[in-house]
Structure 1
Amino acid sequence: MNQDKVEEMWGPRTPDDFHYKGELPAWASEKPVYEWQEDYTEGTAPPNLKLEAELYDDEGRVRAGDTFSNLSRINVSRQGGPESYTPLTSFDQAKFHPTILENIQRMHYKDPTPVQKNAIPLLMSGYDLLACAQTGSGKTAAFLLPVLSKILTKLSRTAESTVNRPGARRTKASPQALIILPTRELGIQIFDETRRFTYKSPVRPVLIYGGAEMRAQREQLAKGCDVLIATPGRLMDAMERGAVALDHVKYLVLDEADRILDAGFAPTIRRVLLSSDLPRDEGLHMMMFSATFPKEVQAMARDFMKEDYCRLRIGRIGGTTTDIMQKVIKVEEYDKEETLIELLLSQPPSRTLIFVDTKRKADYLDDVLYNKYFPCISLHGDRSQHERELALEAFKVGKSPILIATAVAARGLDIKDVLHVVNYDLCEDIDEYVHRIGRTARAGNPGLATTFYNDRNYMIAPQLTRLLVECEQAVPEFLSEFVSENA
């Protein structure tokens, strides 16, 4: 491998680059990438310009792309809920709290996406909701905006918040909203979105997740918590330690609900729903969101949601967007390394996410590419929390524009300018494939997904071919035998 050729395309390494080898650069060692922020602002206090610049920095956030308007043509189907309702045509129609509307403008949101147009009026009307929409279609805002607006409206009437004044302490945090999600990375992302929507308001979000010190998280909880964002295991830990009480929860959200259950958290979720102090009455407003909905999720919805709950489908369940150009190439296992290197050198340099099936493979491939002078980093569940946060930050800001990751990065992550996803190891489940390639082509932007296929992937071939046909993608010759099966 010619070092000059790699560096000509991807740029030379600098002391500012982050990698697990050697000493951390100054930007990585000075402080954690993710830290607690005291951003509570009293009512109409003057804006915090430094915080405002941090929250609404466009550099790290995905903006609507050229084909964003095409999302409005996606088929929408609904079962249950009200006899009729009026989908939104603008955010102003939603009757959000004025502070929420101001922050929507700060985020430069213009037109709501199909899931937002349909989910928001249903949630503002109080209906329990099971919603399925494509990756990158705006599901996070679809549940955050109604929940936060309702909390803010209530606080405006009562002039109270769970935020503690100086010198005050609480034995337990008593959030009004609980958002449960499968991964730390998704939790950090939703926490940041919550801070953006609640800027200059008394609403205080707190994020808790495994892999970080419980002591620091308890300190945050003790200062008050209106919105609790939590991974299942850490939520149970906090409840058992007496740091969290759920008796005041009015809004319960399961985000990436299928992944939560698939990861083995179903018993934990049922304990929260059945054996905790969570209110189990008409006052609890429950919502579940994901890009795919297996039977287990639908069964949980029937078991725990109100009888008149609404089922909302945006597009085909398990489908994906035509904005992603999907290429499937046949590559034997022993040729994958060389093929990947050729691929990286044949495409214009761009933020590239490479999926592998094991943690060991992620480390190995990271070593291979790094030793060939590619600016890469790896991410998987065995990394420390600090390393995971640094890896994502390095990827987001372009210090390490090539990220090798396991399935931990397949869900929910919304990173700007991920133009290429590579399935180095093709997964066995088509839903997982949909989530993986959904890390590109967000919000109407174009993207490319390249998948390495060989005979080991035979079981997923019929479903993969069907998806290619549905998305009007080219079907390679070696998959043509499955086209007739999907006709």
Structure 2
Amino acid sequence: MAKGDDAVMKKRNKAIRKRLHKHSESSTAVSARVAAIIASKKRRKSGKRRMCEGMCFSLPTPDDPFNDRHEKKDLKGKEPKKKMSSQDDERGFVKGKSAALRNGTEARNVTLEQKNEKVVNLMDEQKSSMISMNSLGQKCLVDLEEKVKVIRKKGEHGQHGWACENLNHPSKFLIMCLNSIENALRHDGSYISEEDKPLFVNEWGVEFWKYYSSGKDILETSGPSSTVEQVAWIVSTAADTIARKEKEGMTFANPFLLFIVPSQEKAAKVRSICKPLKALGIHTVSIHPGASLDHQIQGLKSCEPEFLVSTPERLLELVTSKAIDISGVSLLVVDGLERFSNGGYPDMIKSIRQSISGTPLTVVFNDCFNHASVPLVQNLLSRSIYRLSLSDTIASLSSCIVQSVNVCTSEEEKLSKCIQILDQTYGNQLFSQPLKVLYIFVKDSNLSKLAAALKIKGYSVSSDSSCTISNFNDSEMKPAVSMINIEQISTADLEEYEIVIIPSFVLPIDSYVHVLSRMARHTVNGVLHSFLTKENAAVAGPLTETLEQCGQAVPEALRNLCLTAPMWEQ
């Protein structure tokens, strides 16, 4: 075969092999992701890396989170070099060389110190603040110290020992729970908002969330029993707490929320509000006398609910038979206190409360302004509380404050009873902390006589403007006793005083209502004592109406004084 033919044959065979190789590659095509990895590897081996791949050789570390200790290439285009003459070039070379010889080590040290200082400052800023998303989806800086704080205290808030503080805004999960409940209720047609506002902007709910985050008990005194919006905020806040605790590795062997209701209908209503949370991992069980006890026992054995809604009588039956353990309940809600104030319900509520270990955060809906419900509320709320009410009525603002009205025959009897109340307060051993007592006087009253009587009892009256009374012996165990003039009522801070005494009732009824609605804001043990004589018959009628509006017992002597009021006016 000629040499030319051999060359032609080799060329033809090479073309055939190339065509076959190309066909085989197309039949075994790789995915786009693998092809990208292969291409990146080829570029890296050939030295043609892209600028975005610059971090392949210097990843950030905990010691160097901002990668400042590695030499980074400037991603910006370099500025064109300025042309220099030979003389300038030579001068610059000599100058640079001498500067380097003179300051070489010092310059490098200064540069390293600046870089290290920059890293420390940036790390401090990162620790002091973080970027979070608010409920509207906007970025905002949040102080880590003001973020959710969990303060663990032994023996408090059930078995979980938690007291939470959240000083910013409700979490995304809480808003998601509220939206889930609202969408489900609107779909069923069982929820129609009068203002047509979403649940997460409900005024009551926002106030509840603030008080709940503080870790204090809550007394709700708006009037009626819990509404749909109120129940939705309570269960959503509890679900949010469970979610945060589970992220911290905490588990719940017992129900987290115990919702006590007065009837089967109310239990079904509360459970229907909680039902949409099942998709988010929150299981609710309703217990009431409408179903057989054995059926409910079997149902409780097959599940571990986070929320438990029950009537008191059926719950006691299950607790007595050890079908359910409520010792680790962290949030207790008592709804419909008016129904529980009669019959044997107070004893049932006390037994349920005793079955819960520790001090769970308690929410009480007090729809009964009768003074008969005060002992039950005091049993449930033994710690410092927040009063939550969107109503500005006298009955709502003065809920659980006992109004004691005494009609005396002489000024000496009034002074004697005023001192007796003070002695009883000192000798009262029912309260863990001393109560604060306040006397309210008028300018022409017998202030000097009372001060002299208190000095005989061993008290000392200070001469300053506040007229504070204190005892030299065991003063730390005594309540703080103060005196103010009637003209100071509008500016005085009355919310810390549990006991207020008005020795001479000559103040207007508006001032009396002002004191009643602003005293004892953080306790359910408030008492307002008033002393009248026949000379005060003109205010007996308005005072009687105020007592009746607040559901307080009206003394017979005060009613008789009302009958004599026209005679005194003449």
- Normalising by structure 1, what TM-score? 0.40
Higher RCO (CA-CA < 8 Å; seq separation 6+): 1
Q: Greater Rg, structure 1 or structure 2?
A: 2
- Normalising by structure 2, what TM-score? 0.35
